[in-house]
Amino acid sequence: MSMVLNRVHRGYYADSVALMRVSREISTRAGVETASLMIGTPANRELLARARLLTQDGRAANPDDLVIAVRARTRAAVERALEEAVRQLENRPAPPSQAYARTRRFDTALAALPGANLALISTPGDYAGAEARRALQAGLHVMMFSDNVPLAEEIRLKRLAASKGLLLMGPDCGTCILGGVPLAFANALPRGDIGMISASGTGLQEVSSLLARSGLGISQGIGVGGRDLSDAVGGVMTLAALEALEADPATRRIVIISKPPSPKVVRRLLGRIAKSARQFVVCLLGARGAKMPRNATFAPTLLAAAHAAAGGKLNVPTPDAAVPRRGGRIEGLFCGGTLCAEAQLVLLEAGLRVSSNTPVSGALTQSRRARPHRLLDLGDDKYTRGRPHPMIDPSLRGELLRSAASDPQVAVILLDVVLGYGAHENPARMVIEALGPSRRNRPVVVASVTGTENDPQVYSRQVQQLRAAGVLVAGSNAQAALTAAAIVGSDKAAACLTKSCS
């Protein structure tokens, strides 16, 4: 019978990513069934309780305590795992640079670096708002990597930032590139004259990586958070970012990217674009019928946005048109929410029925006919509360991938593989390990790789690994979706592949 023990460290804080890495390492030890390290907030204690990992000791933890929870087959295994977790926490590697002092408080950090103009916040969502407010009041721009921040708090923070002429990038802002410096999930990109504003981290990564692989660079990449173009938020930071890029002499053209936006906010945004002297590419996935100003080009997909931003000079390899044909459905397992949304739109345009946990249209989930093709966004808040984002830890996708590979109804598995700083060190290997060595009776696996040659994982090496394992690798996420659609019988998708549709 399994045994669960908790150990509570009073007054201890560590970055959530660091805690997740230790949790993953401890979970792989002999005799351990699962382990989790979490700050003792009420929400986190509830998650531990649901996972049957909370004991009386853990229930007594405070929001500034750390709970180490382990379930193992024997008491000895539990105790060894607890000791190893403590050892790893106490022996965390020093930062690569000692140029700046390490501090534990905002005020001492600001005193140590008085010239700072930006704060990056990655605390639990329930507490991120207070830290962001403190930074804004001190006159700093803010990038909020934190997710699960209440909508009302986001609105208050963005209004405060706007009143002070500051940027509040986020919450759930996964990617920024400011002054050539990559922040959070970002790729190694050349500098150029294309400015980007994105309500999507992976959307920004996909377009900028496609440009980089064609020899083009960006001036700035400003993330605004996935809810910025909603009715409730009103596009406050998108408009502020637009003004910032207009004032940037290094920016010649501006690309705006969003998952399905509010029609009312789109009209406001297009009205503001019409007053600008810059040229724009507008990629609002799922938006239909919006009339573009003369200085703007509408792009229905991320691939089309990259083509337009490159002035038609994008270099994307044409996929092999001779794709196999199979009966069955597509199972899409995505790390990137916007990549998932783009794939949905491509499949719908190809005449297929699609369901998703984050649909780009409410109509997608209403039909009661035969089971549709399914795409899952595994970076959605539902999957990341209390566990690492799948770009950091692909273990959840690995479980779902193994299940899909053994499902006789699945004809195609559709994947995104996202590279860059902060992402898993070798995501291609994780995909290959989850699929297993046997290719017999396996669904066709189609993938795209978002990244560049200068990324830590190296784009060409990731592509080579996947192809060696029998994975069909497309030149973009949109092309991967087209390939999947052609395999399950869409003549429209097959024809589009031969024409290199974007």
Greater confidence, 246 or 112? 246
Which pLDDT belongs to residue 364?
A: 44
Report the distance separating Cα 312 and Cα 295, nearest Å. Answer: 16
Give the whole-number percent of the chain exceeding pLDDT 70: 93
What residue has token string 């799922």?
A: 286
What domains sit in the chain, N to C, each tagged with a CATH number? 3-90 (3.30.1360), 106-309 (3.40.50.261), 329-499 (3.40.50.261)
Whether cis (ω within 30° of 0) applies to the bond prior to 260 is no
Model pTM score:
0.84
Residue 14, number of CB atoms within 10 A of its CB: 14
d(CA 445, CA 465): 13
SS3 319: coil
pLDDT digits (tens, 9 = 90+) for 186-200: 999 999 999 999 998
Q: Cα-flanking dihedrals φ and ψ of residue 196, to 5°?
A: -130, 140
Provide the pLDDT for residue 98. 53
Structure tokens at 208: 């900028």
**Between 260 and 224, whose confidence is greater?**
224
pLDDT at position 108: 87
pLDDT, position 101: 67
pLDDT confidence bin for 112, thresholds 50/70/90: confident
Q: What CA–CA distance (Å, rounded) separates 13 from 4?
A: 22
SS3 state at 66:
strand
Q: For position 386, what pLDDT does the model report? A: 61
**How long a stretch of residues is the chain?**
502
Q: Are 488 and 373 in contact (CB under 8 A)?
A: yes
pLDDT bin (cut points 50, 70, 90) of residue 368 is very low
Q: What is the pLDDT of residues 292-307, one digit of tens each?
A: 999 999 999 999 999 9
> What pLDDT, on the 0 to 100 scale, is given for residue 122?
86
Secondary structure (3-state) at 356: strand
What pLDDT is recorded for position 321? Answer: 52
Contacts of 204 by beta carbon, 8 Å cutoff, 6+ apart: 175, 196, 198, 221, 223, 257
